[in-house]
Amino acid sequence: MNIKYSQSGKSIWSMLLFLIIFSSFITGSETVPSRKIVVFKKSFDRVSSQDFLLKNSSALKIKSLKLINGTVVHMSHQAERVLKNQDEVLRIDDDFVIQTAQIQSATKGKKIPDQPQQEFLWNMLLIGAELAWPQMLGTSVRVAVLDTGVDLDHPDLYENIKGHINIIKPKKSGDDDSGHGTHVAGIVAAADNAIGVIGVGPGIDLYAVKVLDKKGRGYLSDLIDALDWCIDNDIQIINMSLGSLEDNSSFHEAVKNAYQAGIILIAAAGNYGQQGGIISYPARYSETIAVSSVDQFGNLDPFSSFGNEIDITAPGVEVRSTYKDGYYALMSGTSMSAPHVTGTAALILCTIPDSQFDLNHNGIWEPSEILMKLKLSAQSLGLPVEQQGAGLVRADEAIR
């Protein structure tokens, strides 16, 4: 069938086409919501008042961030401009993505019930972990692994897991659907129980805090929320085998607040060694202990980030540890090096008598003093300081 248009009809259709294109442009730039962190001034701290202001600005609340007096929202660029002009608003930051610091896919080992016989592996020998155990006083040290979760039923971990939370989906458990967090947790504190592997501190209390999904990705706001949870639950050491090349004030403020609460913060440097070596955040912050990665021969992992912010180094190449669903796996990256330092820091705290402990501060030592002990006891590998920091972490020397 043929359809004929009059000149006026053509003009109407041209106008409609223009309006469609124009409205699509406006939608793409103005009204499509993006994920933001709205931070309020200290004097404006009542949540109900914050919610009212956000609602009137057409911002859709996701959740509050008590640690930085902020709120995560979905909002359009137009709504953002409105909020920025409100006297009560201090700043608006991007809620960007963070991810794991792993560089290779896991090579899985045996699964239950056919458990492998326990091995004391090269990475533990290299840092002298076993030599440190006789000095432990049995003091309970609370370590949180902020990651993809932890396999809560893993036979090499379940005895040491004392708590868990899913920050992403609070109604679900902190179980691991990726494997990364379980691998990290095993390096810190796999049990001494005749099967599988042994962690740096086999008697350490583990807390699984899920902030990343099964792909190893999550939002900055969930990490901030997790840091707040750690403060509220008297966590003494936090392992963050994750990071981002992006930075903003909300990220740094949250890390500062956790540090000022007396928590020891240990972070993977990142795996950008072949892209200029840039160190990711939060490892670049002075409040964290930044860890690079070396192999069993003491050579810097070519993938490991490096730079002046590196504090110390640890094994991170083809490290065998626990994995999801009861498996064991080989994995590489600064994700694996950071938990060696986390376990060693926990061993230091294990040498403090209970009578000297203050849950708000880590006994007689502040985080800066723990860092100093780690650095003074580290073993130089002959690498440039921007690659190894103070040197290889040594658990046996650190607890002396």
- State how far the Cα of 161 lies from the Cα of 153, in Å rounded to an integer: 9
Q: Which of 69, 67, 68 is nearest to 53 (CA)?
A: 69
Active site residue 147: yes
pLDDT of residue 8 exceeding 60, the answer is no
Backbone φ/ψ region at 272: left (φ over 0), alpha (ψ -120 to 50), beta: alpha
Q: Which of 294, 308, 306 is nearest to 378 (CA)?
A: 294
* pLDDT (average), residues 199-220: 96
Confidence of residue 19 (pLDDT cuts 50, 70, 90): very low
pLDDT of residue 203 exceeding 60, the answer is yes
- Say how far residue 69 (Cα) sits from the centre of its chain: 21
Of 98-102, 251-255, 320-324, minimum mean pLDDT range = 98-102
Q: Residue 130 belongs to what H/E stretch?
A: helix 129-132
Confidence of residue 16 (pLDDT cuts 50, 70, 90): very low
Active site residue 304: no
* Token couple for 232: 């509220």
Candidates 154, 164, 180, 183; catalytic one: 180
Residue 58 has a CB neighbour count (10 Å cut-off) of: 16
Confidence of residue 234 (pLDDT cuts 50, 70, 90): very high
pLDDT of residue 165 exceeding 60, the answer is yes
pLDDT of residue 199 exceeding 80, the answer is yes
* Token couple for 267: 């972070």
Candidates 93, 147, 156, 176; catalytic one: 147
Q: Residue 337 belongs to what H/E stretch?
A: helix 334-350
Sign of CA dihedral 251, 252, 253, 254: positive
Q: Which of 316, 281, 344 is nearest to 99 (CA)?
A: 281
Confidence of residue 32 (pLDDT cuts 50, 70, 90): low
- Say how far residue 91 (Cα) sits from the centre of its chain: 24
* pLDDT (average), residues 3-32: 44
Q: Which of 211, 127, 146 is nearest to 185 (CA)?
A: 146
* Token couple for 1: 């069938």
Of 130-139, 243-252, 287-296, 304-313, minimum mean pLDDT range = 130-139
How does 190-219 read in b/e, with b if 16+ C-beta sit within 10 Å? bbbeebbbbbbbbbbbbbbbbbbbeebebb
pLDDT of residue 111: 75
pLDDT of residue 363: 54
- State how far the Cα of 75 lies from the Cα of 73, in Å rounded to an integer: 6
Q: Which residues, listed in sequence order, are joined to residue 64 by a DSSP beta bridge? A: 71
Residues, the chain, total? 400
- State how far the Cα of 400 lies from the Cα of 226, in Å rounded to an integer: 32
Q: Which residues, listed in sequence order, are joined to residue 71 by a DSSP beta bridge? A: 38, 64
Confidence of residue 400 (pLDDT cuts 50, 70, 90): confident
Active site residue 183: no
- Residues 6 or more apart whose CB falls under 8 angstroms from that of 363 comprise 349, 352, 356, 357
- State how far the Cα of 45 lies from the Cα of 9, in Å rounded to an integer: 58
Candidates 241, 335, 337, 377; catalytic one: 335
- State how far the Cα of 161 lies from the Cα of 210, in Å rounded to an integer: 13
Q: What is the CA radius of gyration of the chain?
A: 24
pLDDT of residue 364: 58
- Say how far residue 119 (Cα) sits from the centre of its chain: 28
Q: Residue 93 belongs to what H/E stretch?
A: strand 89-94
Q: Which of 24, 85, 6 is nearest to 53 (CA)?
A: 85
Residues 43 and 6 sit within 8 Å (Cβ to Cβ): no
Residues 73 and 38 sit within 8 Å (Cβ to Cβ): yes
Q: Is 7 exposed, middle or buried (0-12, 13-18, 19+ CB in 10 A)?
A: exposed
Query: For the whole model, what pTM was predicted?
Result: 0.89
Amino acid making up residue 181: G
In degrees, rounded to 5, the angle at the alpha carbon of residue 181 between the alpha carbons of residues 178 and 184 is 135
Q: Average model confidence (pLDDT) for the chain?
A: 89
* pLDDT (average), residues 207-215: 97
Structural domains of the chain, ranges and CATH numbers in brackets: 32-95 (3.30.70.80), 99-398 (3.40.50.200)
pLDDT of residue 116: 86
Task: Tell me how far apart the terminal alpha carbons of the chain are, to the nearest angstrom.
Answer: 92
* Token couple for 136: 């432990």
